[in-house]
């Protein structure tokens, strides 16, 4: 078989920890049909093994007591397949000497939901299936299939979820969630190894949807009952319910056993015994998540003394989040939980004995669905949690059991003791937070203030009565005399002086410093005597934590410098009031500058810090210059020999540091920046090979976009230097719209800003959230300091409701054990001409550009590395295509069509910027651009000196539009056509000639029409008008259909074609390969010199068991002119990848014949396949194998070879 698996990036559907006796921890992940093993500490992939042939792994369980080579070690299942793996095989998998155990799997008669290995008989496990059946599987040696036998069960209900566990060596406990919203709990007993006694314990009702997940807790203490268990269930109704499983009296159990045959459907039997039991046993209910909840897990620990256990619940949802809940007693007696008492969406019912309080949300996945999870107990209440999502990512993060006294980050400390710093700490000190009143901080100061430096906590009487005195007495209303209102001091501005130390000013002019560590320490700082009132009511603070400096300015224009080594000193003065101050760092010279702007004037002053650390006696040199009119500075930076300033309206001004008289260039493009403030300008570190005439820098803005610009400078013949700015990358992270800052942590780009009420720190390179703090939004004073010694950590201080909040993250919130990709189905893919870049587009409306790393002989090193994530589409993506490696095109719903300019940026990576969008959009924008084709325009239509492209668009209303495009003149419509009422699915350029263009289309009616478009030369003086349009072809010609033939019974889903080599007697012919909704593979042969409507077609019916969604020709085009043998790979919704060898011959009489032979047929774990593309062509001499990429619900790469 010539198709071989190369790599898979699939949803992670099973997770488990595996521990050796020496303490070594491994992560076991089920990804598609493969088991992947990772080192739990380093996250390195150490081995992978194929478990099933044609089935995804759905679950893994580990025998924790397995020590001998002849003992059962792992149980894996998926669908109807079951695999029991011994310890010896596990060791061979780990040392990579065993890469497939498909011969060890066993097929069960029903779908498997859960399995549990007996801790007392390491060769036995029990299995619960989709019809509430219980099976026992016994592991046998010498490669023998396991012995499987059916055990008694109380009913054959149709289940959506189940859990089975060994409660004792002779008792099995089963929780089963039914399709009709019931939860059945039953037990089975064994005597002398034989199971015979089964009994239904409970049948819980109350859910209004199918039960998607159930989980039985470990033994806990609750409501005065010890060593009891609880049950958590989640449903299609988005609720989580907790049930009490403490033992019922025997008679109640017998009543339950007798109520197995009853009506089905939601809401039935409400007044039966099971309804009464459900009301009595229901402890709590809560509604959570933004969509369906797939599974739940208990976290439990024994409390101190004889009280109840601390019990938490984890829920995993379709919204790709994990949510943690704390089960807390309300102090009420147990009262029924019925539908009549469920009034609130999030809060539990008021009549229940317990509540489920939301503790925190973990959002560490993209797209939709968390399909798998695993827990490992560390110490006390600390756990390590793994989650696997539909995005193929494995996230690893710590969780701790929250009790009734736990506080969430940034909650107020209710302690009355305010004389010492107080932290609200989480377990393992990952996060710390506190809230402070100004009075509390003043009480924590180490020594009383000297009277000469005291600043009053109250404004003087003149200030208190300024407003009242300014109103004439005769117009003042008579009112009763009231006590004077005291105006209290309040927090004003913040800035970090070092990594852990910050300054803050108050409205009354105080300067306080805080040191963040294991505790918080405070100190008051005094200005020189002549400036003690400068910061009253108005202050600007700018920190230089790199050199432990901060600068302060007030209303009087004086600027003070503060160091951690000495008190503030005056270093300069500006005319008027300081509007703002900005840090400028010269990376080349490792020096700093301070830019100060003034209110009501265009004056700006730059102070130079000539040394890496300012001394107390040093006076700063300064340079003054004029800003452009209406230019309010919001950011600044040193880029090469230029200072670049960003403005409030989104423009950029470039100044030569040698000549400050006027800017050498001003960049204004409100369409690109959105007219919003530029908040950061960050120079990129140039690579040695980069041109000395170009500099790249990154900007962030309050329009939710970060951009990268290239600044080029050229000298003309007179020696004058001209500077130009050009955007080469535009990124839109998922938070925003306010991006406030950016920096690089190694090679990772880190951004922070605000999304709604949250402050978010985001790793843009690796696409994950570092921190999220609910602070109330962007309109407040704040400061953030990333820690340099620990990645993904830092301090965030902000004002909220007149209090100072300090949030500190000492460690990364989580670790990405395995990177992922799209969290939704991938609908399209395309490979660049040089085969180095792969673009994918998914239902999540994002486009990603990848590099596929397959260097080296080991398959373990093969992976997809995401280079860029593009988020500009607003509807599902339909088609992607490259032109060379410089242009990427994408289309989708809402009549969206984008042209992306792609280039390499030194010191960063790949830059992508949208160069053009779809022309001629309708008012409703209710059409989809189903497909398109791009090629170089014919010579008669080219714009000399510019790349001119021919773009053909196929719309869902069967309209065809043909354009030529270049960057200078934009789009020009040169032809239109309409097929019929059928939706077009494909369009391709067959042949581009000097006087005409031939097109091939496919549609949902199964026909393959061929079109012809005549062309005329483009005028040399063609130019754009003020609306961005030109007058070429005001009435473009209509396309002429010259041939049409039906090859499929209905929709043509996929298409590829190749041209044969021309001969002396013929100009050759084209071979069109199509896959249809009718499961057929068709080969259509058409001549290029004459178009016969009765073209020859060869149709292979039932080539797949479902619609063929992708076909591609994988062999190189023939070059000898004698043979037209080629190979095709097809994919289908039946999850099969098939390879076909096809030989097309033409006789002397012109009759075509075709020979079709299947040479490969393998299962792919990628479901809902959307597209296929050639990643690498196989050479016809068989010296190099080919590769194809398949996308759908995941991504996969397969090797193909010639083998002719």
**Helix, strand, or coil here: 709?**
strand
Paired with 396 in beta bridges are 386, 815
Measured CA to CA, the distance from residue 1128 to residue 836 in angstroms comes to 22
Would you say 1057 and 988 are in contact if contact means Cβ atoms under 8 Å apart? yes
Measured CA to CA, the distance from residue 329 to residue 352 in angstroms comes to 9
**Dihedral angle over CA of 1057, 1062, 1063, 1065, nearest 10:** 90
Measured CA to CA, the distance from residue 82 to residue 522 in angstroms comes to 63
Of 905, 849, 841, nearest to 876 by C-alpha is 841
3-state helix, strand, coil in the chain (%, to 5): 5, 50, 45
Would you say 973 and 1036 are in contact if contact means Cβ atoms under 8 Å apart? yes
Measured CA to CA, the distance from residue 867 to residue 874 in angstroms comes to 21
Measured CA to CA, the distance from residue 754 to residue 737 in angstroms comes to 7
Torsion 758-764-767-770 (CA) sign: negative
- Would strands 230-235 and 239-244 be described as parallel, antiparallel, or unpaired? antiparallel
Cis peptide before 365 (omega within 30 of 0): no
Angstrom CA distances, 125 to 14, 135, 165, 757, 884, stand at 18, 8, 10, 50, 56
- Residue ranges of alpha helices (H) inside 181-308 are 250-257, 273-281
Measured CA to CA, the distance from residue 229 to residue 474 in angstroms comes to 79
Compute the C-alpha angle 838/841/842, nearest 5°: 135
Torsion 176-177-181-185 (CA) sign: positive
pTM recorded for the entire structure: 0.88
Instruction: List, for the chain, all residue ranges whose pLDDT scores fall below the cut of 50.
Output: 1, 249-261, 268-271, 334-350, 406-428, 449-475, 1064, 1093, 1122, 1203-1204
Paired with 831 in beta bridges are 838
> What pLDDT is attached to residue 423?
45
How many Cβ atoms sit within 10 Å of the Cβ of residue 467? 8
Would you say 228 and 244 are in contact if contact means Cβ atoms under 8 Å apart? yes
Beta strands in 446-490 (DSSP E): none
Measured CA to CA, the distance from residue 104 to residue 90 in angstroms comes to 13
Retrieve residue 32's tokens.
């598609």
> What pLDDT is attached to residue 616?
59
| Residue 100 DSSP one-character state | B
Nearest-Å Rg of the Cα atoms of the chain is 35
What strands lie across the sheet with 959-966, from one edge to the other? 929-936, 949-955, 959-966, 970-978
| Residue 1127 DSSP one-character state | E
DSSP one-letter string for 1038-1088: BPEEEEEEE-SSS-EEEEEEEEPPP-SS---EEEEEEEETTS-EEEEEEES
How many Cβ atoms sit within 10 Å of the Cβ of residue 962? 26
How many Cβ atoms sit within 10 Å of the Cβ of residue 856? 9
Angstrom CA distances, 158 to 119, 132, 867, 992, 1124, stand at 29, 7, 45, 60, 55
Please name the residues in contact with 301: beta carbons below 8 A apart, sequence gap of 6 or more. 309, 310, 380, 381, 401
> What pLDDT is attached to residue 468?
42
What strands lie across the sheet with 540-544, from one edge to the other? 540-544, 549-553, 558-563, 566-573
Beta strands in 545-693 (DSSP E): 549-553, 558-563, 566-573, 578-586, 591-598, 603-609, 621-626, 633-639, 642-647, 652-656, 665-667, 678-683
The DSSP H or E segment spanning 90 is helix 87-94
Of 958, 1055, 963, nearest to 1000 by C-alpha is 1055
> What pLDDT is attached to residue 618?
62
Measured CA to CA, the distance from residue 644 to residue 412 in angstroms comes to 42
Cβ contacts of 946-954, under 8 Å, gap ≥ 24: 949/883, 949/887, 950/989, 950/992, 950/997, 951/889, 952/987, 952/989, 952/999, 953/891, 953/897, 953/918, 953/929, 953/987, 954/929, 954/930, 954/984, 954/985, 954/986, 954/987, 954/1001
> What pLDDT is attached to residue 866?
94
Measured CA to CA, the distance from residue 1021 to residue 660 in angstroms comes to 41
Would you say 968 and 985 are in contact if contact means Cβ atoms under 8 Å apart? no
- Would strands 782-786 and 768-774 be described as parallel, antiparallel, or unpaired? unpaired
Angstrom CA distances, 556 to 387, 536, 602, 624, 1002, stand at 56, 10, 17, 18, 74
Measured CA to CA, the distance from residue 270 to residue 203 in angstroms comes to 12
**Helix, strand, or coil here: 988?**
strand
Of 356, 207, 338, nearest to 288 by C-alpha is 356
Would you say 972 and 964 are in contact if contact means Cβ atoms under 8 Å apart? yes
- Would strands 1096-1100 and 1108-1113 be described as parallel, antiparallel, or unpaired? unpaired
Compute the C-alpha angle 1147/1153/1159, nearest 5°: 135
Residue 473 zone, left/alpha/beta (φ > 0; ψ -120 to 50; rest): alpha
How close are the terminal C-alpha atoms of the chain, in Å? 12
> What pLDDT is attached to residue 959?
95
Measured CA to CA, the distance from residue 1114 to residue 1175 in angstroms comes to 9
Please name the residues in contact with 1020: beta carbons below 8 A apart, sequence gap of 6 or more. none
- Residue ranges of alpha helices (H) inside 944-991 are none
Retrieve residue 1140's tokens.
């076909």
């Amino acid at each position: 078989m010539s198709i071989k698996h190369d790599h898979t990036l699939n949803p992670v559907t099973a997770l488990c920890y595996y521990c050796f006796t020496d303490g070594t921890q491994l992560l076991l992940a089920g990804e598609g049909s493969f088991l992947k093993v990772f080192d739990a500490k380093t996250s390195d992939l150490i081995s992978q093994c194929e478990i099933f042939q044609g089935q995804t792994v759905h679950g893994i369980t580990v025998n924790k007591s397995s020590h001998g080579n002849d003992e059962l070690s792992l149980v894996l299942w998926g669908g109807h397949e079951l695999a029991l793996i011994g310890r010896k095989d596990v060791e061979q998998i780990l040392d990579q000497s065993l890469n497939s155990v498909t011969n060890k799997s066993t097929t069960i008669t029903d779908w498997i939901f859960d399995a549990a290995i007996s801790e007392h008989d390491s060769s036995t496990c029990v299995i619960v299936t989709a019809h509430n059946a219980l099976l026992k599987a016994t592991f046998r040696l010498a490669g023998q299939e396991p012995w499987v036998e059916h055990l008694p069960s109380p009913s054959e209900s149709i289940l959506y979820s189940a859990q089975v566990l060994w409660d004792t060596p002779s008792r099995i406990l089963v929780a089963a969630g039914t399709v009709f919203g019931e939860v059945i709990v039953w037990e089975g007993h064994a005597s002398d190894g034989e199971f015979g006694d089964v009994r239904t314990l409970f049948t819980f009702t109350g859910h209004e949807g199918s039960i998607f997940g159930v989980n039985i807790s470990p033994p806990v203490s609750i409501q005065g009952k010890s060593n009891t268990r609880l049950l958590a269930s989640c449903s299609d109704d988005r609720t989580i319910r907790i049930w009490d499983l403490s033992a019922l009296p025997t008679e109640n159990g017998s009543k339950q056993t007798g109520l197995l045959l009853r009506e089905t459907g939601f809401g039935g039997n409400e007044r039966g015994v099971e309804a009464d039991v459900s009301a009595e046993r229901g402890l709590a209910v809560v509604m959570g998540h933004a969509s369906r909840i797939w599974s739940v897990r208990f976290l439990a620990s024994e409390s101190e003394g004889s009280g109840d256990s601390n019990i938490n619940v984890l829920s995993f949802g379709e919204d790709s989040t994990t949510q943690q809940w704390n089960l807390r007693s309300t102090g009420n007696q147990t009262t029924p939980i019925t539908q009549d008492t469920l009034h609130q969406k999030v809060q539990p019912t008021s009549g229940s004995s317990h509540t489920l309080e939301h503790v925190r949300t973990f959002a560490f996945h993209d797209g939709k669905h968390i399909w798998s999870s695993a827990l490992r107990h560390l110490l006390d209440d600390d756990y390590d949690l793994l989650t696997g999502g539909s995005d193929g990512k494995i996230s690893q993060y710590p969780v701790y059991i929250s009790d009734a006294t736990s506080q969430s980050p940034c909650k107020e400390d209710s302690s009355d003791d305010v004389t010492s710093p107080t932290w609200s700490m989480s377990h393992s000190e990952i996060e710390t937070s506190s809230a402070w009143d100004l009075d509390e901080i003043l009480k924590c100061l180490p020594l009383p203030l000297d009277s000469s430096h005291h600043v009053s906590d109250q404004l003087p009487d003149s200030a208190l009565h300024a407003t009242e005195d300014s109103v004439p007495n005769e117009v003042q209303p008579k009112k009763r005399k009231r006590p004077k209102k005291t105006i209290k001091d309040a927090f004003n501005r913040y800035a970090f002086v070092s990594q852990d130390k910050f300054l803050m000013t108050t409205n009354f002019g105080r300067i306080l410093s805080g040191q963040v560590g294991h505790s918080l320490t405070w100190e008051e700082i005094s200005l020189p005597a002549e400036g003690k009132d400068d910061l009253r009511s108005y202050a600007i603070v700018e920190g230089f934590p790199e050199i432990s400096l901060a600068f302060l300015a007030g209303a009087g224009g004086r600027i003070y410098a503060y160091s951690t080594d000495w008190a503030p000193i005056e270093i300069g003065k500006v005319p008027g009031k300081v509007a703002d101050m900005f840090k400028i760092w010269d990376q080349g010279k490792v020096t700093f500058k301070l830019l100060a702007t003034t209110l009501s004037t265009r004056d700006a002053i730059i102070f130079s810090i000539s040394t890496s650390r300012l001394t107390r006696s040093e006076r700063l040199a300064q340079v003054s210059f004029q800003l452009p009119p209406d230019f309010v500075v919001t950011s600044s930076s040193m880029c090469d020999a230029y200072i670049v300033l960003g403005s409030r309206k989104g423009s950029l001004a470039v100044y030569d540091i040698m000549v400050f008289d006027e800017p050498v260039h001003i960049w204004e493009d409100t369409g690109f920046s959105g007219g919003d403030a530029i908040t950061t300008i960050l120079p990129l570190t140039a690579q040695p090979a980069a041109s000395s005439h170009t500099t790249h820098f990154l900007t962030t803005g309050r329009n939710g976009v970060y951009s990268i610009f290239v600044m080029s400078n050229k000298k003309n013949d007179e020696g004058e230097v001209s500077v130009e700015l050009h955007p080469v990358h535009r990124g839109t992270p998922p938070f925003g719209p306010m991006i406030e800052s950016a920096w690089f942590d190694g090679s990772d780009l880190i951004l922070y800003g605000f999304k709604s009420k949250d402050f978010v720190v985001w790793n843009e390179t690796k696409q994950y959230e570092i921190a999220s703090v609910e602070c109330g939004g962007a309109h407040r004073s704040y400061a953030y300091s990333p820690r340099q010694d620990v990645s993904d950590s830092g301090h965030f201080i902000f004002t909220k409701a007149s209090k100072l909040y300090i949030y500190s993250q000492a460690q990364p919130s989580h670790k990405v054990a395995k990177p992922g990709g799209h969290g939704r189905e991938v609908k399209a893919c395309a490979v660049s001409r040089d085969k180095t870049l792969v673009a994918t587009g998914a239902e999540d409306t994002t486009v990603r550009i990848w590099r596929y790393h397959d260097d080296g002989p080991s398959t373990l090193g093969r992976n997809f590395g995401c280079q860029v994530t593009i988020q500009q589409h607003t509807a599902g993506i339909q088609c992607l295509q490259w032109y060379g490696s410089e242009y990427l095109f994408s289309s989708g719903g809402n009549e969206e069509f984008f042209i992306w300019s792609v280039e390499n940026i030194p010191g960063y990576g790949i830059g992508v910027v949208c160069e053009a969008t779809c022309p001629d959009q309708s008012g409703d924008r209710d059409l989809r651009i189903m497909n398109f084709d791009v090629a170089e325009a014919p010579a008669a239509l080219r714009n000399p000196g510019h790349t001119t492209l021919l773009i053909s668009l196929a719309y869902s209303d069967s309209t065809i539009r043909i354009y030529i495009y270049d960057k200078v003149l934009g789009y020009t419509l040169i032809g239109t056509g309409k097929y019929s009422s059928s939706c077009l699915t494909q369009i391709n350029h067959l042949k581009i000639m000097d006087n005409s263009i031939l097109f091939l289309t496919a549609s949902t009616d199964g026909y393959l029409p061929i079109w012809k478009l005549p062309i005329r030369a483009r005028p040399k003086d063609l130019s754009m008008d003020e609306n961005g349009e030109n007058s070429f072809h005001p009435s473009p010609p209509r396309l002429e259909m010259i041939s049409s033939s039906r090859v499929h019974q209905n929709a043509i889903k996929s298409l590829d074609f190749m041209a044969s080599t021309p001969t002396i007697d013929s100009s050759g012919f084209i071979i069109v390969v199509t896959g249809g909704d009718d499961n057929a593979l068709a080969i259509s042969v058409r001549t290029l010199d004459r178009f016969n409507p009765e073209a020859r077609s060869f149709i292979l019916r039932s080539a797949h068991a479902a619609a063929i969604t992708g076909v591609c020709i994988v062999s190189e085009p023939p070059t000898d002119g004698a043979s037209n043998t080629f190979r095709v790979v097809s994919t289908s919704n039946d999850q099969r990848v098939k390879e076909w060898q096809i030989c097309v011959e033409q006789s002397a009489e012109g009759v075509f014949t075709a020979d079709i032979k299947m040479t490969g047929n393998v299962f792919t774990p990628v479901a809902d396949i959307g597209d296929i593309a050639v990643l690498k062509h196989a050479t016809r001499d068989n010296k190099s194998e080919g590769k194809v990429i398949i996308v759908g619900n995941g991504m996969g790469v397969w090797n193909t070879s010639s083998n002719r």
